């Protein structure tokens, strides 16, 4: 196992070892999505990992799905994340921010003006989330319009810019575990009849466009993507997983991202 603790070249960076810390949701942010001071200590303590991937971080107020999760869409959030990044860097660590939109896995009490969650299609998930009063069934979603999709893509690009402003070393696109991008991929949650639904090539379109937006900010090798091809968490299912994720992986290979 000697090689586990040896440096590894990762795009333009040299990581001091091959231990990567996976994203772990903590529910420890303040009510406004600003990471708390506890998060500075938490991440600094783990800076000896070759690379830290942060907890899932919502790209917009509409991307929130659980109580007390952090965001990357306000000036106050950027400032708080910068303190965390600085603490990791001071301890010779590297850190990527995980970009997150939960889609239908949310509750109206968590969203602006008690809005309905958004999703590829208006299909309510058989899943639960955590709100102020405890565990609750997720709310009925509304299908994203084409305008809504464009606005969400702009939110991804803005969040990627904000992550760069906070000093992160890169970002990871969260396209797994039944959240918004994953909802577009799976036939069980995507029953659209436009360019974003139907065939596997259409269902991977949203993932492609998100990746392009983020790469436009960060460039190759500083962007990772997380998928969960066989995952069923958050009521996910697909008619042909091999076809769906073969299309997704082929697409991502063409973009030469940092990792998948």
Catalytic residue positions, numbered: 179
DSSP 229: T
Other Cβ atoms less than 10 A from the Cβ of 188: the count is: 17
At residue 57, φ and ψ (nearest 5 deg) are -130, 120
- Smallest CA-to-CA distance from 229 within 240, 217, 218 is with 240
CB 168 within 8 A of CB 145: no
- Smallest CA-to-CA distance from 85 within 190, 166, 159 is with 166
Exposed / middle / buried, residue 46 (Cβ in 10 Å: 0-12, 13-18, 19+): middle
Tell me the chain's radius of gyration from C-alpha atoms. 18
Q: Rounded to whole angstroms, how far apart are CA atoms 232 and 238?
A: 9
- Smallest CA-to-CA distance from 205 within 147, 139, 153 is with 153
CB 97 within 8 A of CB 81: yes
Strand, helix or coil for residue 34: coil
Strands 51-58, 95-100: pairing kind: parallel
DSSP 22: P
Retrieve residue 195's tokens.
């360019």
């Amino acid at each position: 196992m000697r090689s586990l603790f040896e440096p590894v070249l990762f795009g333009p960076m040299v990581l001091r070892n091959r231990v990567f810390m996976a994203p772990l949701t903590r529910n420890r942010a303040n009510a406004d999505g600003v990471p708390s001071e506890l998060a500075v200590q938490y991440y600094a303590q783990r800076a000896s990992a070759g690379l830290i991937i942060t907890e899932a971080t919502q790209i917009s107020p509409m991307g929130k799905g659980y109580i007390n999760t952090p965001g990357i869409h306000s000036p106050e959030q950027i400032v708080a994340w910068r303190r965390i990044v600085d603490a990791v860097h001071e301890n010779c660590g590297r850190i990527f921010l995980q970009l997150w939109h939960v889609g239908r896995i949310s509750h109206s009490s968590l969203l602006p003006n008690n809005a309905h969650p958004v999703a590829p299609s208006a299909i309510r998930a058989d899943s639960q989330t955590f709100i102020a009063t405890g565990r609750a069934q997720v709310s009925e979603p509304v299908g994203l319009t084409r305008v809504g999709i464009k606005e969400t893509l702009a939110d991804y690009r803005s969040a990627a810019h904000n992550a760069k402003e906070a000093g992160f070393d890169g970002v990871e696109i969260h396209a797994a575990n039944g959240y918004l991008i994953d909802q577009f991929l799976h036939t069980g949650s995507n029953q659209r009849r436009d360019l974003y639904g139907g065939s596997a090539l259409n269902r991977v379109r949203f993932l492609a466009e998100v990746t392009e937006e983020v790469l436009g900010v960060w460039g190759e090798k500083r962007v990772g993507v997380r998928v969960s091809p066989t995952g069923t968490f958050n009521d996910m299912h697909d008619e042909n997983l091999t076809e769906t994720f073969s299309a997704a992986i082929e697409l991502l290979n063409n973009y030469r991202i940092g990792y998948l």
